[in-house]
Amino acid sequence: MAYAYLFKYIIIGDTGVGKSCLLLQFTDKRFQPVHDLTIGVEFGARMITIDGKQIKLQIWDTAGQEAFRSITRSYYRGAAGALLVYDITRRDTFNHLTTWLEDARQHSNSNMVIMLIGNKSDLESRREVKKEEGEAFAREHGLVFMETFKRECLILTMRRMALRSVLSTRRQEALAPAVRVLAVQRAGAAVRCCAAHTERAKRG
């Protein structure tokens, strides 16, 4: 299927915060009640439409466990955005956010959009991290923040992310017409996207 843009997003965060669930929800509308640890990196894809343009979102779900950190790091490259997830019922996952953020900033392009997601907000009774805390953290680090547990929210979030990406891509196109990032065809779309980022990084 043809698409105008291909964006790569990466989901990061501590183990058990529900990253795989988010992905599954987003791509398959399913919910997986059992915690199947992610071993390594998995991915899913979904088409959305913005401004009548087909946009393919490639979402990479990484393993949250410390042991896999070295593997997952290599997946930051070329990502247009990251979903940094924590579990509102577990404070330690919130505490680790700084580490994750550093990791992400270090291994990705500087213009990567990062969205902070406080997950499992349906488990209000077991909440350990207040929403305000999440908001504060996001403000402090210049992230987009939201708490989710509903699929609709998630899709909305992804659209917002995608929209930002589209805009920034267009800006880049305007800045450097020589580097046509407009990836139209399936083949090599991701690669070209990456290339654009590298190009920019070099210049900057």
Ligand X SMILES: Nc1nc2c(ncn2[C@@H]2O[C@H](COP(=O)(O)OP(=O)(O)OP(=O)(O)O)[C@@H](O)[C@H]2O)c(=O)[nH]1
**Residues lying near ligand X in the complex (CB under 6 A):** 15-21, 33-38, 63-65, 119-120, 122-123, 149
Q: Is 41 in the site for another protein (CB under 8 A)?
A: yes
Closest by alpha carbon to 108, among 80, 86, 148?
A: 80
Residue 152 interacts with, from Mg ion, another protein, ligand X, none (CB under 5-8 Å by kind)? none
Any idea how long the chain is? 204
Positions of E strands within the chain: 5-13, 41-50, 53-62, 81-87, 113-119, 144-147
Residue 2 interacts with, from Mg ion, ligand X, another protein, none (CB under 5-8 Å by kind)? none
The pattern of x and - marking residues 46 through 85 that bind another protein according to CB under 8 A reads -----------------x---xx-xx--xx----------
DSSP-derived 3-state class of residue 199: helix
Residue 67 interacts with, from Mg ion, ligand X, another protein, none (CB under 5-8 Å by kind)? another protein
Q: How far is the CB of 150 from another protein (least distance, A)?
A: 19
Pull the structure tokens for residue 60.
């990479």
> 35-66 burial, b if ≥16 CB within 10 A, otherwise e?
eeebeebbbbeeebeeeeeebbbbbbbbbbee
Q: How far is the CB of 114 from ligand X (least distance, A)?
A: 17
Residue 204 interacts with, from Mg ion, another protein, ligand X, none (CB under 5-8 Å by kind)? none
Positive or negative torsion for Cα 32, 89, 57, 44: negative
Query: Closer to Mg ion at the Cβ: 32 or 49?
Result: 32
User: How many helices (DSSP H) and strands (DSSP E) are in the chain?
Assistant: 7, 6
Name which position in 4, 16, 27, 43 contacts another protein (CB under 8 A): 43
Q: How far is the CB of 19 from Mg ion (least distance, A)?
A: 5
Residue 41 interacts with, from Mg ion, another protein, ligand X, none (CB under 5-8 Å by kind)? another protein
145: left (phi over 0), alpha (psi -120 to 50) or beta: beta
Q: How far is the CB of 66 from ligand X (least distance, A)?
A: 10
